[in-house]
Chain A
Amino acid sequence: MLSYIGRRLLFLPLVLFGVTLFIFIAMSFLSPYQLVSSYIKSPDELKNQSLDDLVKKYHLDDPAHIKYFRWLGNIVRGNLGYSRSANMHVADAIKARFPATLELTVFAMIPVVLGGIWLGSISAIHHNSPLDHGTRVFAIIGWSLPSFVFGIILLMYFYGVLGWFPPGRLSTWADMIVLSKDFVRYTGMHTVDAILNREWAVFWDAIRHLIAPTISLSYLWWAFILRITRSSMLDVLNKDYVRTARAKGLPENIVIKRHVRRNAMIPVATVAGFMVLGMLGGLTITETVFDYKGLGLLTATAAQQLDYTCVLGTTMFYGVILVLSNLVVDILYAIIDPRVRLD
């Protein structure tokens, strides 16, 4: 076990090097003039000097390896450059936007996992019956609904017709409360901050804005969890200890609850862990549809306006976060599940 963790930790710098190298190679497709934007800290710097001066000043015509290490030094010091599209430093933009993405991920995980497991168990218990086929077709349709189609339809109906679930993160009045002096922003996640500040109206408003993206994400991901649950439950249902439990006269629902579902959950937990990571990096489209101001929308807007600094900065952040959390998830599973052999 320790040697496994050790090996993973040794591999970590290598992966991080790969991540930085990828971004650096991507950057080398840009001309020095395009790159200058990532070194300018404020628009005022452009007033008294020409772009050529700036290229010289920041040594953007140096050979690649020197540029790489200088750039890396800047990243380590937290200087990711200035983002034109967000009108602030990239590091500040990430700090402001990441809690939003995290909040949506955490909020969406609950219905995704619970609903998926529920559908999967129905499907497995009624194997090959109309109920099984029905649930699976329902889930496959969801899996085939791109979030940008389903999201727009949800907004058309629940926002346009009924006015229930508006896009964005907060209504204007709630935004004013959050931005006011009395409201302490502990985490940047509006629901948590609202509870800590005892602002119940803000809390409900934040929830109201989270519901539509959550529905969209849930319906998309249910098929995925359903498939794993179903396959793994069918596997367990054929095991000898389940036959024994039935033979000794246990009622069917207890057999399912105690013996089948629990044992079938291990692969589901594994997949769910990696799904969180996938969602953190894959919310770009959902956030764009619902105008939810998280990290994904930041990247998408920056990319549309060809704001390289911001896109590369957020990618660097994503890369590091995902590499680290991948490691944590792997190690956690090794600790939780004794059957995972790592050596």
Chain B
Amino acid sequence: MMKKLLRNPLSLFGFVLLIFFVVMAILAPMIAPTPERHKHEPYRIPRYGWEITPSPPSEEHPFGLTQGQHDIFYGVVWGARTAFFVGLVVVGSSCAIGIVVGAASAYIGGRTDEIIMRIVDIFLSFPFLIAAVVITCVLGKGLDKVMIAMICFWWMNYARLLRGNILQIKQEEFVLAARAAGVTDIKIIIRHILPNTIFPVLISASMDLGSVVVTAAGLSFLGLGAPEGYADWGQMISFSRNWLLGAPGEPLKYWYTVIYPGIAIVLFVLAWNLIGDALRDILDPKIQA
């Protein structure tokens, strides 16, 4: 499968983009060094002045300074770390919840299964963004609250997927044999069932990383996420909302406030979507025919 993905030029491009972002996130302290006075909080974008109006790109600040003189280049580079952090935490935690719920539901079966699946249905009946807004609003604003809110409403599809896969193999001989040999339930699930069913779930989860990052950025854009000045792409774009009209006679004067953080987030999501799209083609039985 990996071979097929690397042979497809589009998904190959996706991988290249992704590696670029990984390198950028890891090397952030070298690409955009934190000024001495900020050393203790590197995720706060340094400010170069107190004026509200953005300043255009210059030699010192290649991407310009956005609202409040926050350095855009610094924010874009360190924002990659925030993006990976949010994506990995949300996808990892909700995947873990989904696996536990899905495995329990399918393995126990019967009435428990029915009840768990109805609960899943109830969770699915909420529009995701609204549910996330509610939880963030009740818990209070902040990046951590945004992540909690997203985890609460992101696990259901993994649970369903895993449950379906387990139901397919639950009656196969190797499972029955293990049970007849007196192996405990937990051990059967971990040793025999999960290794045979978990991969589609992990793949689908890893492909969700892009959309998780976009949604989190969207919540930051709505003003519910990271505090002002935190290195977060969504929040930087919400700054640019105040400057989209430019100045009289120069309608595009503040283009750099949206273009640079915008490009960062678009390329990040594009990378995941390109890989995901190629992957879905490879896995789609209809197209293989």
Contact = CB atoms under 8 A, between A and B. Distances in A.
Interface of A: 11, 14-15, 18-19, 22-23, 26-27, 29-30, 133, 136-137, 140-141, 143-149, 152-153, 155-157, 159-161, 227, 231-232, 234-235, 238, 278, 280-282, 284-285, 288-289, 299-300, 302-304, 306, 308, 311-312, 314-315, 318-319, 322-323, 326
B133 A323 contact: no
Ranked 5 nearest A-B pairs via Cβ: A281-B127, A18-B122, A160-B251, A144-B270, A149-B262
Contacts of B210: 144
B255 interface: yes
B248 to A, nearest CB: 11
B266 interface: yes
B222 A284 contact: yes
A29 to B, nearest CB: 5
A146 B134 contact: no
A19 B121 CA distance: 11
Contact of A152 (B214, B241, B251, B270): B241
A147 B238 CA distance: 12
A315 B286 contact: no
B5 interface: no
A215 to B, nearest CB: 16
Dominant secondary structure at the A interface: helix
Interface in B115-136: 118-119, 121-122, 125-131, 133-136
A143 B122 CA distance: 27
Given A26-B135, A160-B251, A285-B129, A14 B218 contact: no
B266 A278 contact: no
Contacts of B238: 148
Interface string B270-289: 10011001001000101101
Given A141-B266, A285-B218, A306-B137, 15 more contacts: A30-B138, A140-B274, A144-B266, A144-B270, A148-B217, A148-B218, A149-B266, A152-B244, A284-B130, A302-B137, A303-B136, A315-B126, A315-B134, A322-B127, A323-B125
B244 A156 contact: yes
A322 B241 CA distance: 31
Given A11-B118, A311-B137, A19 B130 contact: no
B237 to A, nearest CB: 6
Contact of A146 (B10, B135, B240, B269): B269
B223 interface: yes
A143 B10 CA distance: 15
Interface in B213-236: 214, 217-218, 221-224, 234
A149 B234 CA distance: 9
A149 B130 CA distance: 20
A322 B126 contact: yes
B134 A312 contact: yes
A231 B287 contact: yes
B139 interface: yes
Contact of B237 (A148, A238, A322): A148
Contacts of A22: 122, 126, 131
A10 B127 CA distance: 22
Contacts of B280: 227
A323 B124 CA distance: 10
Q: Which of A19, A23, A149, A155 lies at the interface centre, i.e. has the most chain B CB atoms within 10 A of its CB?
A: A149
